[in-house]
Chain A
Amino acid sequence: MLKLRRLEVGVPALGVVVAGAVAAAVSGSGVAVGFVVAVLVVAALSWRFVGRRYGSWGYAEREDDLLVRRGVMFARLSVVPYGRMQFIDVTAGPLERIFGLATVRLHTAAAATDARIPGLAREEAARLRDRLAELGEAQAAGL
């Protein structure tokens, strides 16, 4: 997961740097050089930031509910009781698929519920989905 995110930052940054470097070499102007340096700095910062954000994601299965944690700037911690889950989504985008990852998303009757666990290994995602579905059925509560 971390690898994926870093790649998402790294690849465009590298592309821009290369393009900028070529431009700088061709025109030899200071502006292009400055631009390249700025991009490098931004990339380095977001590299670190992505690492921290990755570290902030987490989830815990408790007896009656699932805890989902995320966010660095806005730290969020959601408590979703199993009995309240309406359905569970497992999605995997093209990039995620390359890395064998998937995102699990829980839905309750409340639209505000925002419990998303990204970047799980595919087997772990399937296991979690089945487990949650099972627990949800056992504890289901009406509206």
Chain B
Amino acid sequence: MTSGSPEGWQRLHPLSPVVRGGRATIAIAILLVPIAFGGDTLKNATPQLVIIAILTAGGVVSWLVTRWRIDDDDLRIETGLLRRQSLRFPLAQVQAIDVVRPGLARLFRVAELRLRMAGSTGDTARLAYVAEHEVEPLRDQLLTLARGARHGEPAAAPSTEQEGVPSEERVLATVATGQLITAIVLENGWLIVILAGLVAGFAVSPRTVAGVLGGGGFFWAISMVTLVWRRFNQQYRLTVAEGPDGLHLRGGLVALTAEVIRPGRVQAVRLVEPWLWRPLGWCRLEVDIAGRQRSKGEGAAARRPLRALLPVGKRTLGLELVDRLMPDRPRELSRPPRRVFWKSPFRYRALSWGRTETCVATTSGRLRRVTCWVPLEKAQSLRHVQGPVQRRLRLASVHVDTAGRAVHTTLRDRDAEEAATALEELTDLARAARRRPALT
């Protein structure tokens, strides 16, 4: 399965169906327990055995019919028994490569490779699963090929120094566990209050609480807990490092993820400061890369809003990372005119924007402060919008649309004249930025 035979088709790791089954595998194991311990006679256990046989056969067949290979600059995956599917992923469009290791996969020493693609068809190529020791070389090979394909050169074979990449990286930041817990608690402060209320209520009158829980509150609570858990699991000891092929992210508690974000693929950067974090001077830094707005069938992990580059950290550290991603970020932001207070009294204090030749920055938010940076070469289109209230107050907003998923950059509530000039200037600057050869 290594890079030895790039022409031949390769299979996934034989244990893939077991890991992919995930919960089903655990269920099978539980079903097997009574049989193994002789609690049941074999005759009684027939239905269980049939179910197990069907599941196992399904897994094995799906493994047998799936194969993949690397063509010149494509990754090809063929899968399916009845409905044969042949997928082709041009490596030039790879936005990021993740290595994901769920708990079960770690147990069996395998890992999943996830190639995130660009474009409105923005699919994710998944190789689940590949043996652990082969993942790193394979990823390096794919990254090298992707880089070669992007520059239009014939794809070079992975050289030895390329495989040594991980050792060259420089660690920029690691998230401390205590800080992460505090941060999650503070950001979801209301949740803690509700949980505490439930516990206290249970102590006073168990029956009422049980009623609430029975009436749908239970599922709600479960989903909340899952949400918090997922975040914690994902961001536990997350490390950002700078490597020659991009920013490396590594971390996770049960499910380990490793991710490479390629330079020049970042569509927007967002610095979020939730209300309760602000006194502590903490922030979260998120990057947005191109992809489909809403994705189906990718599982919960893909539906997460944005990739946090720094789940929690000091503001100065966050800004330092921003400097790395956007060397030419605007230092001075200008406030909107005073009369904006009458239109958005809560937001007024947070609004501002600034620009340089290559980058736009905006701030917004009521309780939660959000600062966005967008490189102008990534701007897809510009919109100038003026609502009825804004017209009365001689105000207007300018939106900068990007290909990202969630970052909305808006020069909100500017003086009408300023907005008009900003639109003109940004149009020209964006054009110039597109013409300039990419810096990376």
Is the pairing of A and B real? yes
Query: Is the CB–CB distance between A84 and B380 below 8 Å?
Result: yes
Per-residue CB contact flags for chain B residues 387-404 toward chain A (1 = under 8 Å, else 0) read 110010000000101111
In the assembled complex, A80 has its CB within 8 A of some CB on chain B: yes
In the assembled complex, A104 has its CB within 8 A of some CB on chain B: no
Segment 38-62 of A: residues with Cβ below 8 Å from B = none
Query: Is the CB–CB distance between A109 and B380 below 8 Å?
Result: yes
In the assembled complex, B56 has its CB within 8 A of some CB on chain A: no
Per-residue CB contact flags for chain A residues 50-88 toward chain B (1 = under 8 Å, else 0) read 000000000000001100000001111111110110100
User: Of B381, B387, B403, B423, which one neighbours A81 at CB under 8 angstroms?
Assistant: B381
Query: Is the CB–CB distance between B120 and A86 below 8 Å?
Result: yes
Of the stretches B200-208, B309-317, B319-327, B426-434, the one at the interface is B426-434
Q: A109-B120, A110-B403 are in contact. Are A74 and B381 (CB under 8 A)?
A: no
Query: Is the CB–CB distance between B401 and A108 below 8 Å?
Result: yes
Query: Is the CB–CB distance between B381 and A113 below 8 Å?
Result: yes
User: Of B118, B120, B385, B430, which one neighbours A76 at CB under 8 angstroms?
Assistant: B385
Query: Is the CB–CB distance between A74 and B380 below 8 Å?
Result: no
How many residue pairs at the A-B interface have CB separations less than 8 Å? 80
Per-residue CB contact flags for chain A residues 107-143 toward chain B (1 = under 8 Å, else 0) read 1111111110000000000000000000000000101
User: Of B378, B401, B430, B434, which one neighbours A112 at CB under 8 angstroms?
Assistant: B401
Query: Is the CB–CB distance between A83 and B434 below 8 Å?
Result: yes
Query: Is the CB–CB distance between A64 and B431 below 8 Å?
Result: yes
A121 to B256, CA, bound (A): 57
In the assembled complex, B293 has its CB within 8 A of some CB on chain A: yes
Residues of A within 8 A of B431 (CB): 64-65, 81
Q: A64-B431, A81-B431, A143-B118 are in contact. Are A108 and B380 (CB under 8 A)?
A: yes
Chain A interface extent, by class? 20 to 34
* Residue among B119, B380, B387 with max Cβ neighbours from chain A (10 Å): B380
Query: Is the CB–CB distance between B399 and A112 below 8 Å?
Result: yes
Query: Is the CB–CB distance between A78 and B381 below 8 Å?
Result: yes
Residues of A within 8 A of B381 (CB): 78-81, 84, 108, 110, 112-113, 115
Determine how close the nearest CB of chain B comes to the CB of A108; give it in whole angstroms: 4
A residues sitting closer than 8 Å to B (CB atoms) are 64-65, 73-81, 83-84, 86, 107-115, 141, 143
What are 29 A-B contacts with C-beta separation under 8 Å?
A65-B431, A73-B388, A74-B388, A75-B391, A77-B384, A77-B385, A78-B381, A78-B384, A81-B381, A81-B427, A81-B434, A84-B380, A86-B120, A107-B120, A108-B401, A109-B380, A110-B380, A110-B403, A112-B381, A112-B383, A112-B401, A112-B408, A113-B380, A113-B381, A115-B381, A141-B377, A143-B118, A143-B119, A143-B265
B residues sitting closer than 8 Å to A (CB atoms) are 118-120, 265, 267, 290, 293, 377-378, 380-388, 391, 399, 401-404, 408, 423, 427, 430-431, 434
A-B pairs, 5 with minimum CB distance = A109-B403, A110-B401, A110-B380, A77-B384, A108-B380
